[in-house]
Every structure is written in C-alpha cells, then in structure tokens.
Amino acid sequence: MNDARFLPKQAKRKRAGAIFQAVCLVSIGFSIAVLAILIVDVSRDGLRWLSWDFLSRYPSRIPARAGIKSAILGSLWMMALTAGISFPLGVGAAIYLEEYAPRNWFTRLLQTNISNLAGVPSIVYGILGLAIFVRFFGFGRSVLAGAATLALLILPVVIIASQEALKAVPNSLREASYGVGATKWQTIRYQVLPVALPGILTGTILSLSRAIGETAPLIMIGALTFIAFAPTSPMDPFTVLPIQIFNWTAKPQADFHDLAAGAIIVLLVVLLVMNAAAIVLRNRYQKRF
C-alpha cells in the first residue's frame, strides 16, 4: 500500500467522480425544470379553454367562439403529406449513399452537403419552397406546397438518421447474405432493411415532430392564419397549429393569448403521441428477434 511510485489519491479521484455526477444531475434537472415551467405556465392559461368546442370549432374573431379545428386538420394533412414525401426520398437517398455509392470524392461532397443542409435555418427552406413549389411548380399556397417545403427541411435529418441505422447493420450480415448467393437487392431488401428499420422509423418520426412545430417556412410560403374550413385536398389553402398559435399570440386581447396557450397544449399532446408512436414502432420491430 505504500509503494512510493504510486500516488493513489483515492479521496481526490472519488471526489472528482462525485462532482461530475452532480454536474450531470444539474443538467438534467435544469432541462426538466424549464419544461415543467413551460407546461405549468401554459396549463394555467390554456387549460380552461380546452373543450370539445375548442377542438371542433373554426377560428373566430370572438375568443369565446374560436377553435382550432382547421389548424388540427391542417397539421394532420401536413404531417401525412410530409411523411409521404420525406420517408421514401430520405430512405432511398440513405440506401444509395450507404449501399450503392462508390466511396469517392463526389460521395464525400454529397455527404458533407447533406450534413450542412441539416443546419440551414428553416426560413431559408421557406424562401426555397416559395420559389420552387408555390411559384415554379404552381402548387400555390396549398397544403402540398407546405408539405413539400417541410419535407425538404427534414430530408437531411431523415437521410442522416437512416444512414446511421444502415451503418449499424453489421457487415457480417451482408456477407452471410451474399455468401448464399443473394443479389445486392435481395440482401438489402431481406436482411439489411429489416434490421435498420427501427432506427430509420425512429429518425423519421423524430424529424416529423420537428416539422409539426415549424412556423417560419410555412408563413413564408403563405399559409393563412384565418381558415374557416377544413382542407379537403392537397391543393387547398391551409393553416397549422403553430401558425394559429403565432397568430393568436400576436393579437392584443389577453383572451387570445390564453387561446394560444390552449393550442400549445394540444400541440404538445400531438407531439407526445408522435414520439410515443416512434417508441412503440421501434419496440415492435426490435422484438421480432
């Protein structure tokens, strides 16, 4: 125990460990506290507005008659279309990059650009969407234009998450498949994708929950704030929950601010449901074997 060449400093090392643990605890505590404050504050203002009427009415100039039906339906349309566009494109791009693309400077350039695109401010996607989808493709200020814009916005994240899921599939599995005479497509379809799918789904749903909260790009492409009807086709004008919230918080009357709080609660619940769906989907596919 008294070997002179060792200076164990047991107490000091253990104290360092304890300090680090405390720092981590403070970090998680801080995050939870902020979230709790948000929920408490929003609930105090908004909870009393929550009712079936609030969910089933269209917006109104009179706070007591205002509801978020068009915003909820708009958000649902938006999510369905965004998922429908971004999932196949994102997964397809990820499969190409991971399984097919040659490892050369061009692929690396693509990869770097995708990572950079993930960091581009969402308003820039709004400008892009306005130029391309609203005007060039002539979608107008429609759900489709909005969904295409949001799909573009989350595409880099969907691609990167899917790539990570594909990278996590051990190469020995691919070799085993090739080894019995499977083609590349059969290997990807029957061995690689099923193993990567839970990760791909998790990444996609988490990106979608980012899309559902996006406001700026949709304002940019011209989502309306006052919609007194439900969209019935992808070409209809639309509003979504965050825009309705933004609109209400910008009004002078205090009642509208409380309405906004009510809408925030609804948005949080939708988010929670989506994340729960991500977990359920992941567990279901992972449990298979």
Partner 1 sequence: MASGDTVHQVGEGLDTALETRALSVFYGAAQAVKEISLTIPRNRVVAFIGPSGCGKSTFLRCFNRMNDLIPVARIEGDVMFQGANLYAPDVDAVEVRRRIGMVFQKPNPFPKSIYDNIAFGLKVNGFQGDMAEQVERSLRSAALWDEVKDRLQESALGLSGGQQQRLCIARALAVEPEILLMDEPASALDPIATGKIEDLIGDLKKDYTIVIVTHNMQQAARVSDYTAFLYLGELIEYGDTERLFTNPTEERTEQYITGRFG
Query: Binding residues for partner 1, per CB under 8 A?
Result: 102-103, 170, 172-183, 186, 190-191, 194-195, 289
Q: How far is the CB of 280 from partner 1 (least distance, A)?
A: 20
Least distance CB 187 / partner 1 (angstroms): 9
29 or 194, CB closer to partner 1?
194
Smallest separation (angstroms) from partner 1 to the CB of 175: 6
Q: Which is nearer to partner 1, 96 or 178 (CB)?
A: 178
Which residue, 149 or 177, has its beta carbon nearer to partner 1?
177
Q: In whole angstroms, what is the distance from residue 177 CA to residue 213 CA?
A: 42
CB half-sphere exposure, 276, CA atoms < 13 A: 6
Question: Of the two residues 66 and 188, which places its CB atom closer to partner 1 in the complex?
Answer: 188
Q: Please report how close the Cβ of residue 278 comes to partner 1 at its closest, in angstroms.
A: 21
Instruction: Report H helices in the chain.
Output: 10-46, 52-56, 69-95, 105-117, 122-129, 143-167, 171-179, 184-187, 193-211, 216-221, 241-249, 254-287
Report the C-alpha gap between 270 and 264 in whole angstroms: 10
What is the chain's Cα-based Rg?
Answer: 24
CB of 167 to partner 1, least distance (A): 15
Exposed/middle/buried for residue 136 (C-beta within 10 Å: 0-12, 13-18, 19+): exposed
Is residue 32 packed enough to be buried (19+ CB in 10 Å), middle (13-18) or exposed (0-12)?
exposed
Instruction: State which residue, 1 or 180, has the beta carbon closest to partner 1.
Output: 180
Instruction: Give ∠ CA 273-277-278 in degrees, rounded to 5.
Output: 120
Nearer to partner 1 by C-beta: 15 or 108?
A: 108
Q: What gap in Å lies between CA 264 and CA 251, rounded to an integer?
A: 16
Q: Which is nearer to partner 1, 51 or 286 (CB)?
A: 286
To the nearest whole angstrom, how small is the minimum distance from the Cβ of residue 181 to partner 1? 3
Nearer to partner 1, 138 or 181 (CB): 181
Shortest reach from residue 97's CB to partner 1, in Å: 14
Give me the least distance between CB of 288 and partner 1, in Å please. 8
- Helices 193-211 and 254-287 sit at what angle, rounded to 10 degrees? 180
Rounded distance between C-alpha atoms, residue 77 and residue 240, angstroms: 9
